[in-house]
A and B are shown apart, each in its own frame.
Chain A
Amino acid sequence: MSLIDVQDLTKTFKVRQRSAGTGTGAALRRLLRPGWELRQAVSQVSFSINEGEIVGYLGPNGAGKSTTIKCLCGILVPTSGVVRVAGLDPFRQRVALAGRLGAVFGQKTTLWWDVPVVETYQLLREIYEVPRPRYEETLALLTETLGLGEFLHLPVRQLSLGQRVRADLGAAFLHRPRLLLLDEPTIGLDVAVKASLRQFVKQMRDLTGVTVLLTTHDLRDIELLCDRLIIIDHGRLLFEGSIEETIARYAPDSTILVELAAPVSGPLSVPGAREVARDEPDGLKLRIRFRRDELPVTEVTAYLMRRYPVRDFRIQEPQIEDILRELYEQRTSVP
């Protein structure tokens, strides 16, 4: 059953025009008649997410990820399109939805700055009307899985980033939400904290069946956490599918790196390969790129072994990183 349904979501912002020239004259003109322009942050995006799924919502900076998330929380009103979360209209039924939703924005805390973490938790318990036994139980679970014990009684301003994000994650989960929205939760964290966050998210999903939608630029987050990816850019949906599907679609090529025992003169060729290149300077290294579905690896390696003095070879499978880099970089060519 789908928990999130988004259909043709479009969000347009009115922003101050920046291209109206520079200098004092232009500044004065803008003061009198500020130019406005419409910017489409999200454009006709549709997707749905099932209960209990962990979905990565990916795209380069400024692609429209956070805007989508804010539409899902009911903070922003969609310009057009339909958004349903747990059957509710987030903007119109924000208060009703808020009780079923937890969110962490990695770059901004939602905790009160000057009071100990546990005080904020107590306040959240009252706000979300969590019964005390359930609160105690959840807090114990969070303390254990997130290691909150060491800083539960410190004011938020004294916490390190890693502790703060863990505290934020705990705060988002105190009322046992059905949906967890994580906007770059691992940004700026060290390896150990990242690992514990991932473990926490996965554990909570398995334990409570919570649905998770996360945006991230961290590839390990994607590989270790996400059941499915949704990739957007320029506010438009680029792709939706599992990691394997994404790789098959965007990186159909595999590469074999070959090390030769002796230099080979003359032109190189491998039948069916898309690219054969010789790595300078000594010419002992070859790079052969071919389509996995057209040409079996065994065929390429067998041919190489027959024709060339191969000393060693290594097969390079495409990584999700390469695909994302390629996808993200394409935007630079678009004006």
Chain B
Amino acid sequence: MSAAVGARRPTTARAAWRSALHHLALLRAFSRQGLQVRLAYRSEFWMHLLNTVVKMAAIATVWRVLYHQSPDAFPIGRRQMVTYAILAALSSELLTWWEGPHFYLGMRIRLGTLVGDLLRPISLPYQLFSIRLGESLALLVTITAPALLIGGLAFGLAPPAGGYLAGGAAFAVSLCLSFVVLHCLNFLAGIVVILTTSVEGVATAYHGVMTILSGWLIPLWFYPAWLRAVADALPFRTVFFTPLSVYVGFVHGSGVAWALAEQLGWTAAMVLAVAGAWRGVRRRLVIQGG
């Protein structure tokens, strides 16, 4: 029996290794695909870059003016606030939270082309995650990095609150978790789209909630206590408010670890929620056309 176990262990290890390699290869392939899609229309690329810079500049200017008017209302310094605004605009652009699975699922269901995705030997949430990640990596290189450079030169970015190494790493980890949480939230919204067959209705409501409760447009510290309580009880704030708070030092010291732990908890909960909801909705799937 011990021989059998001994014989099995390397094979499971090898299988796990093979599976990990497969996933890496997939990710690389999807990233290449994402890059291809992003670069398919050259004029769109330049417009996108311009759009990002303008958005970033607008938000940063607004907060600079507001800060000038009443500096006492802010719990962080002026430079930190401008940095929050720039990073909020850029990470929002990087995660493109207004696109993603909810629109994708809605569109594919309506056209009846979800069939194509369901033919592939990968779970659909994971498949969409890989495509999304590929596109975001492509965006990071082509749009976000240049825009960040421009923003940094034009407005003067503050360094991460915890220092370049620790603070930067905490921000990066937090942003990665943001990506997963956002994907899950979008996918859940997509499931609501499937159930209600209303892309516009669901998207409008969902985007409103994201704008108010995620902290990408308005930092949550400005909210009245009741609204803050609502935001705190929901996962949306972990998408933007958590990483940005970590970067600008609104949370600091042991608070950073807490914030990351909490974000990790939400990430796990959201992943489970997506898996459960997708299992449920797959049974109820009706594909248009025939």
Contacts from A to B (Cβ < 8 Å): 13-15, 62, 65-67, 70, 73-77, 91, 94-96, 98-99, 101, 103, 105, 107-110, 112, 114-116, 119-120, 122-123, 125-129, 155, 183
Contacts and interface: CB of A to CB of B under 8 A. Distances in A.
Nearest to B38: A114
Interface stretch (B22-30, B46-54, B213-221, B223-231): B22-30
A98 B282 contact: no
B115 A75 contact: yes
A326 to B, nearest CB: 23
10 contacts: A66-B289, A75-B285, A95-B121, A98-B119, A103-B115, A105-B115, A108-B289, A109-B116, A110-B119, A127-B29
B119 A103 contact: yes
Contact of B290 (A66, A119, A128): A66
B33 A123 contact: yes
> Which 8 pairs across A and B sit closest by C-beta, in order of nearness?
A66-B290, A110-B116, A98-B121, A126-B29, A114-B40, A115-B36, A99-B121, A75-B118
Contacts of A122: 29, 32
B286 interface: yes
Contact of A112 (B37, B111, B123): B37
Contacts of B112: 108
Given A66-B290, A127-B26, A115 B33 contact: yes
B280 to A, nearest CB: 11
Nearest to B111: A108
Given A112-B33, A119-B33, A70 B121 contact: no
Interface in B235-290: 282-283, 285-287, 289-290
Contacts of A128: 121
Contacts, number: 89
Contacts of A91: 282
A109 B118 CA distance: 13
B113 interface: yes
A126 B25 CA distance: 7
B36 A114 contact: yes
B118 A94 contact: yes
B283 A77 contact: yes
A106 to B, nearest CB: 11
Nearest to A127: B120
B194 to A, nearest CB: 13
A155 B36 CA distance: 10
B3 interface: no
Given A77-B285, A110-B113, A128-B121, 10 more contacts: A73-B118, A95-B122, A105-B116, A110-B115, A114-B36, A115-B36, A115-B37, A120-B33, A122-B29, A126-B22
A14, A94, A98 pick with most chain B CB within 10 angstroms: A94
A13 B115 contact: no
A108 B115 contact: yes
B253 to A, nearest CB: 44
B30, B33, B41, B121 pick with most chain A CB within 10 angstroms: B121
A130 B116 CA distance: 19
Contacts of A109: 113, 116
A184 B113 CA distance: 15
A99 to B, nearest CB: 5
Contacts of B116: 105, 108-110
B134 to A, nearest CB: 10
B28 to A, nearest CB: 8
